[in-house]
Amino acid sequence: MQSKQTPDLVNGPLLYNMIMFAIPLMLATALQMCFNAADTIVVGKFAGQQALAGVGATGSLIFLLTSLFNGLSIGTNVMAARYIGAQDHEMLSKTVHTAYCMAAAGGLFLTTLGSFASRPLLELMNTPASIIDLSERYMRIYFLGSLPMLTYNFGAVILRSKGDTRRPLVFLAISGVVNVILNLIFVIAFHMSTAGVATATVISQVLAAFMVTYVLMHEDDATRLMLSQLKPEMELVKEILRIGIPAGISGMMFSISNVVVQSSLNSFNSSVIVAGNSAAANIENFVYIGMGAFSQASITFVSQSMGAERYDNLLRIVKMTLLLSMSSAFLLSSLARFNGNVLLGLYTDDPAVIEAGIVRLKYVAFWLMLNASLDVFVNAVRGMGNSTMPTVIMMIGICGVRLLWLWTVFPMHRTLEMIYICFPISWTVTTILEGLLWYHDYKNLMSFQTA
């Protein structure tokens, strides 16, 4: 039984379907980035530089702790899309209910971890003493929203796996507006600083989780969620873990390297540098709008084609997503790089913070097209069912290269430029390796099919 919300991603026109898939996802990402930027702007403008740095110092650490579970949502995406392509409604239904059980378990685990590990981890990262209390308060409250956060992420992935990117956009828009309104109330009216921003985030996540769960409970196809059938199917758990754990570890590789980058920034013992990095990283996130949408398209389209055994689609999908993703990244990164002063001025009035942020935009944001191509190859390989080797390559090309650079080159030339240049170098190395892996797997698959 097919839902009216489900387009034909296997047999329909590729470019049209990909654009229709990506546009709502871009808008959703743009809204999310705007709401995140609003968090940072409200803190920077109304709670001060210390509070801005306090929130910024937690970003890479939070991403590290949530990466593994975001990887499991990728495993859910691959399995759901594959069963949709194969029109296996029974296994699709079991995937939905298994995913929700995994989201619940992961959410409870992260809530507990965030409560006990926030302070030690911040200390391990050499977070400046002037902001560590603000950072710890933000993290403890933020992780109270882990359960609704993962519930929304897994629920939205289920909808996207069948090509429905519109309703997750609506959910983000509603919850995001609520988040911004609560930010203003908590920070400006109640003077809650970082705690106010974190509390607003948790409330908005609860709202988003409720909306996606309500919609899934009223679907008219095999993705319908029935609370009476909420139990994990162990074979599916194993398959989601097989794909999702390596994907999560890949995210953790990015995060670990970024944590080391943050620690290197913290070693300057300057809240100005931390604040500038935080503001620039927020601007940088906007560049991900297009490249992230087309990267997610690649994993969904490839997975559905694999399930339908339409292997002739695979090369066209990768070529199309590479073109669209890299073009989008180049356009947006150029806009960010050459309008840096204006954009950073939205976050802070401090010239020193703006100057520090410009350095990141020049050496990181401008080269994100390299990361765009990397993501397409990685997701295409995962959609084909190989999730381990991309992770091994990530460990070498992203984590290994950055750590080696920061532990050898940076100590000899202690400048911001020497920290940030490790990003484009690691992206270049990893893109080449991931591209070769995709070509190898694709050729092997096509040779097997013609044998």
Token pair of 278, please? Answer: 């935080």
* Pairwise pLDDT comparison (207 vs 263), residue with the higher score: 207
**CB of 40 closer than 8 Å to CB of 262:** no
The proportion of the chain whose per-residue pLDDT surpasses 70, expressed as a percent, equals 98
Rounded Cα gap, residues 131 and 363, in angstroms = 26
Around Cβ 13, how many Cβ atoms within 10 Å? 10
User: Which residues are CB-contacts of 415 (< 8 A; sequence separation ≥ 6)?
Assistant: none
DSSP annotation string for 143-190? GGGHHHHHHHHHHHHHHHHTT--HHHHHHHHHHHHHHHHHHIIIIIIS
Burial group, residue 391, by CB count within 10 angstroms (0-12, 13-18, 19+): buried
Predicted confidence band at 4 (pLDDT cuts at 50, 70, 90)? low
* Pairwise pLDDT comparison (136 vs 69), residue with the higher score: 136
pLDDT at 419 over 50: yes
Rounded Cα gap, residues 75 and 81, in angstroms = 10
Coil/strand/helix, residue 231 = coil
DSSP state of 220: S
Identity (one letter) of the amino acid at 226? M
Contacts 24+ apart (CB under 8 A), 237-243: 237/98, 237/102, 239/75, 239/79, 240/72, 240/75, 240/76, 240/79, 240/95, 240/98, 240/99, 240/102, 241/72, 241/75, 242/75, 242/387, 243/74, 243/75, 243/78, 243/79, 243/382, 243/385, 243/387
Question: pLDDT by residue (tens digit) across 180-239?
Answer: 899 999 988 888 888 899 999 999 999 999 999 999 999 999 999 999 999 999 999 999
Q: Mean pLDDT, the chain, as a whole number?
A: 88
pLDDT at 66: 85
Rank 95-99, 279-283, 306-310, 333-337 by mean pLDDT and report only the highest. Answer: 95-99
**CB of 53 closer than 8 Å to CB of 282:** no
**CB of 384 closer than 8 Å to CB of 314:** yes
Predicted confidence band at 5 (pLDDT cuts at 50, 70, 90)? low
User: Which residues are CB-contacts of 59 (< 8 A; sequence separation ≥ 6)?
Assistant: 262, 278, 281
**Torsion angles phi and psi, residue 345, rounded to 5:** -65, -15
Among 385, 281, 286, residue whose Cα is nearest residue 334: 286
Please report where in the chains the tokens 């495993």 appear, as a residue: 75
Identity (one letter) of the amino acid at 94? K
pLDDT at 2: 45
Rounded Cα gap, residues 397 and 395, in angstroms = 6
Question: pLDDT by residue (tens digit) across 280-290?
Answer: 888 888 888 88
pLDDT at 450: 67
